[in-house]
DNA sequence: AGCTGATGACCCC
DNA sequence: TGGGGTCCCTCAGC
């Protein structure tokens, strides 16, 4: 292997020691050569006082691991004194002392032996080998977060029934639970329907949004309309029945659009909560919006005072929009006046983000909230005040989402950043511990939209949920991140759907309220999935390419496949790229024709 | 192809 | 309680 010579060795030493030398060691570098620390160092003449430099190369990359392991302990100790990890991930060992002019100094030896890029220790390497990711064995399992094994050997590795941690069985003891078992439970079918899994991309808009997608919402009555929000605050309205009919409204919010809800009495109107601190109500026909709340009327006064709106839901019976901010407060908006009503109520730890709100579908005054204080909390909106929660559901990390089951409203499903889905089978029963925990890879990553497990609103047994997977799997040579369908009553993985052309992670997923359709947002693109037999594959790549894709079984390449937009695949039809200015024009022209659907 | 930037949770002091 | 360092299987643009 051709070794990479550290770039600073190519520089003349005088330049190297200049205080204005235009480079620095990476911030992550923990061990620096002694000479970089001596700020008070006297000027040096390179010929007389600088030690000789010896480069020790890892010439044989096939060197046996046992050999490396034997050497490792010694190297580690020496590393503490004078080792350097360079940007190319190789260890350089600097030995001082062989210069005859300087007593006690040996020559600087630079070792280019490979080290693990995760823990910086030699003897193993972490990272992608082709499409398979090799974990660093020094770290806890990436999936279940427990030490002693890696993801590859994790007992919770997503397959069937391995991820479930059942709560200890408890007998029904509370009167409410008794009532539930007698009256409500019989209404929930125990025999599960045959799931129709939307597992094939039916149509898509590639690079529809200019930033990553943050939320999705199906139109309550028009079956082919999908709303999407993005990190920039833009709101997309796409008629996926007529693939080319799509609008992006860019003037509603100025940053992240966190949540959307249709107004139940008027399905042209949609409320949206944004990190710009406003709750807006937008007419989808005209694109005209009005702010119901603006929490930052005085503009930017610094990050400590800037308020953002996250969780949001509508209580139609009371005519209320409930929206929560990043300081732990709940705000109420009267839909008739479109103005704030009452004072903000502290519902989560002061100063923590409240990322999710959900009104119970049967009893809308029962509110479920979740947030960064590691709790999901149940409230009665009729008597809500700070500290008045009915139940506090503890989690080990941030709770990305908490939803009541869509039909009976008696179950709760939460997604937490500790890589676990939690299910409470009955809000009338024991709420101290979840009924089940399902280990599932949906890690937090600051560059991704947080994962949220979503119920299938059509499943009468209330046991099917969909959630994107963070961790990748090697599928015929491509590292893909599937979307998982999980039977939350057993923890079983019902289906994992993926497409070789979707190489990005898909954290945002929503199942259609009436049809066997899954909408997913991955990076800046939207996908509509249907069950295989119903699919007629058509994909549009926004104004730069028209592509057609289906469920191909073969794809060769390294991690994530290649990024060539599949130009090696004859199902892709390329169109010449248009300029950025035309892109804007296109969006504007689409906005003027929005009244059609 | 390899670098860069955007930028959230969490931990420690 | 707040600031700074660290974590990191991202993604897209150059």
Q: How far is the CA of A257 from the C1' of B1 (A)?
A: 34
- With beta carbons less than 8 A apart as the criterion, state whether A461 and A440 touch: no
> Which of the nucleotides lies closest to A441 (Cα–C1')?
C9
**pLDDT confidence of residue A269:** 98
Which residues lie near nucleic chain B, judged by CB under 7 A?
Answer: A 87-88, 353, 372, 374, 397-398, 417, 444, 446-447
H/E element, A52: none
- With beta carbons less than 8 A apart as the criterion, state whether A402 and A358 touch: yes
Give me A492's structure tokens. Answer: 């079983």
Going by C-beta distance under 8 Å and a sequence separation of 6 or more, which residues neighbour residue A83? A31, A75, A91, A92, A93, A94, A111
Which residue shows structure tokens 């009244």?
A595
Which residues lie near nucleic chain C, judged by CB under 7 A?
Answer: A 27-28, 30, 118, 128, 133, 135, 139, 142, 151, 207, 212, 304, 445-448, 470-472, 479, 481, 503-505, 522-525, 560, 563
Q: How far is the CA of A147 from the C1' of B4 (A)?
A: 33
* Phi-psi region at A586: left, alpha or beta (left = phi > 0; alpha = psi -120 to 50): alpha
Percent helix, percent strand, percent coil in chain A, to nearest 5:
10, 35, 55
**pLDDT confidence of residue A116:** 82
Q: How far is the CA of A46 from the C1' of B11 (A)?
A: 43
- With beta carbons less than 8 A apart as the criterion, state whether A426 and A180 touch: yes
H/E element, A57: none
**pLDDT confidence of residue A542:** 61
**pLDDT confidence of residue A113:** 63
What is the DSSP secondary-structure string of A415-443?
EETTTEEEEES-TTS--SS-SEEEE----
> Which of the nucleotides lies closest to A470 (Cα–C1')?
C9
Task: Give the residues of chain A that fall short of pLDDT 70.
Answer: 1-113, 158-176, 178, 180-181, 185-187, 190, 541-597
| Three-state DSSP class for residue A549 | coil
Per-residue three-class SS string for A97-131? ECCCCCCCCECEEEECEEECCCCCCECCCCEEECC
Q: How far is the CA of A295 from the C1' of B12 (A)?
A: 33
Q: Cα(A532)–Cα(A292) distance, rounded to whole angstroms? A: 43
Q: Quick: pLDDT tens for A450-502.
A: 999 999 999 999 999 999 999 999 999 999 999 999 999 999 999 999 999 99
Give the rounded distance of the alpha carbon of A8 from its chain centre. 38
- With beta carbons less than 8 A apart as the criterion, state whether A561 and A479 touch: yes
Give me A174's structure tokens. Answer: 């509370």
- With beta carbons less than 8 A apart as the criterion, state whether A367 and A376 touch: no
- With beta carbons less than 8 A apart as the criterion, state whether A121 and A112 touch: no
Burial annotation A367-406 (CB, 10 A radius, 16+ → b, else e): bbbbbbbbbbbbbebeebeeeebebebebeebbbbbbbbb
- With beta carbons less than 8 A apart as the criterion, state whether A284 and A219 touch: no
- Cα end-to-end distance, chain A, whole Å: 60
Q: Which nucleotides of C are covered by protein (CB under 7 A)?
A: 2, 6-13
Q: Cα(A62)–Cα(A235) distance, rounded to whole angstroms? A: 53
Q: Cα(A207)–Cα(A574) distance, rounded to whole angstroms? A: 14
Q: Cα(A276)–Cα(A296) distance, rounded to whole angstroms? A: 8
Q: Cα(A559)–Cα(A479) distance, rounded to whole angstroms? A: 5
> Nearest CA to the C1' of C10 belongs to which residue?
A447
Q: Cα(A319)–Cα(A315) distance, rounded to whole angstroms? A: 6
Q: Cα(A219)–Cα(A152) distance, rounded to whole angstroms? A: 41
- With beta carbons less than 8 A apart as the criterion, state whether A154 and A144 touch: yes
Going by C-beta distance under 8 Å and a sequence separation of 6 or more, which residues neighbour residue A392? A375, A376, A377, A378
> Which of the nucleotides lies closest to A479 (Cα–C1')?
C9
Which residue shows structure tokens 């949004």?
A209
Q: Which residues pair with A354 in a beta bridge?
A: A371
- With beta carbons less than 8 A apart as the criterion, state whether A51 and A107 touch: yes
Q: Which residues pair with A544 in a beta bridge?
A: none
> Which of the nucleotides lies closest to A212 (Cα–C1')?
C11
- With beta carbons less than 8 A apart as the criterion, state whether A311 and A371 touch: yes
**pLDDT confidence of residue A156:** 85
């Amino acid at each position: 292997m051709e070794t990479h010579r550290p770039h600073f060795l190519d520089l003349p030493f005088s330049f190297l020691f200049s205080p204005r030398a235009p480079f620095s060691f990476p911030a992550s570098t923990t061990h620096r050569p002694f000479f970089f620390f001596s700020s008070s160092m006297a000027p040096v003449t390179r010929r007389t006082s600088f030690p000789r430099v010896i480069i020790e190369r890892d010439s044989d990359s096939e060197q046996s691991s046992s050999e490396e392991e034997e050497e490792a302990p010694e190297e580690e100790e020496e590393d503490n004194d004078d080792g350097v990890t360079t940007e190319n991930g190789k260890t350089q060992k600097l030995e001082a002392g062989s210069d005859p002019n300087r007593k006690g100094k040996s020559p600087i030896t630079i070792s280019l032996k490979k080290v693990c890029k995760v823990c910086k220790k030699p003897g193993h390497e972490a990272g992608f080998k082709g499409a398979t990711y090799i974990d660093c064995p020094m770290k806890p399992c990436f999936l279940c977060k427990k030490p002693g094994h890696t993801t590859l050997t994790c007992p919770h590795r997503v397959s069937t029934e391995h991820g479930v941690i059942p709560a200890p069985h408890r007998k029904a003891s509370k009167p409410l639970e008794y009532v539930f078992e007698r009256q409500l439970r019989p209404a929930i079918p125990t025999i599960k329907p045959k799931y129709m899994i939307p597992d094939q991309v039916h149509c898509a808009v590639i690079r529809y949004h200019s930033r990553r997608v943050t939320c999705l919402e199906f139109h309550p009555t028009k079956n082919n309309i999908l709303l999407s929000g993005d990190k920039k605050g833009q709101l997309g309205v796409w008629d996926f029945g007529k693939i080319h009919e799509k609008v992006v409204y860019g003037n509603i919010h100025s940053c992240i659009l966190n949540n959307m809800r249709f107004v139940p009495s008027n399905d042209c109107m949609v409320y949206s909560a944004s990190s710009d601190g406003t709750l807006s109500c937008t007419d989808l026909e005209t694109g005209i919006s009005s702010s119901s709340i603006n929490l930052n009327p005085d503009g930017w006064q610094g990050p400590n005072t800037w308020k953002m709106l996250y969780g949001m839901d509508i209580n139609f019976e009371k005519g209320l929009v409930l929206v929560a901010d990043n300081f732990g407060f709940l705000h109420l908006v009267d839909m008739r006046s479109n103005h704030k009503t009452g004072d903000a109520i502290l519902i989560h730890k002061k100063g923590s983000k409240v990322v999710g709100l959900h009104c119970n579908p049967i009893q809308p005054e029962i509110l479920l909230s979740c947030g960064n204080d590691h709790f999901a909390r149940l409230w009665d909106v009729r008597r809500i005040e700070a500290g008045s929660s009915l139940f506090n559901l503890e989690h080990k990390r941030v709770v990305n989402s908490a939803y009541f089951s869509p039909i009976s409203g008696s179950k709760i499903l939460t997604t937490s950043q500790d890589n676990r889905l939690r299910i409470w089978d009955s809000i009338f029963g024991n709420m101290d511990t979840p009924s089940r925990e399902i280990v599932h890879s949906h890690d937090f990553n600051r560059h991704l939209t947080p994962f949220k497990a979503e119920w299938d609103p059509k499943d009468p047994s209330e046991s099917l949920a969909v959630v994107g997977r963070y961790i990748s799997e090697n599928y015929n040579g491509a590292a893909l991140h599937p979307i998982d369908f999980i039977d939350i009553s057993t923890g079983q993985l019902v289906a994992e759907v993926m497409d070789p052309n979707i190489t990005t992670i898909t954290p945002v997923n929503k199942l259609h309220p009436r049809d066997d359709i899954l909408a997913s947002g991955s990076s800046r693109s939207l996908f509509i999935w249907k069950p295989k037999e119903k699919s007629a594959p058509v994909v549009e790549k926004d104004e730069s390419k028209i592509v057609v894709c289906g469920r191909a079984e073969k794809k060769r390449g390294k991690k994530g496949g290649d990024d060539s937009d599949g130009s090696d695949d004859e199902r892709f039809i390329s169109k010449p790229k248009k300029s950025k200015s035309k892109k804007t024009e296109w969006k504007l022209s689409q906005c003027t024709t929005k009244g059609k659907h």
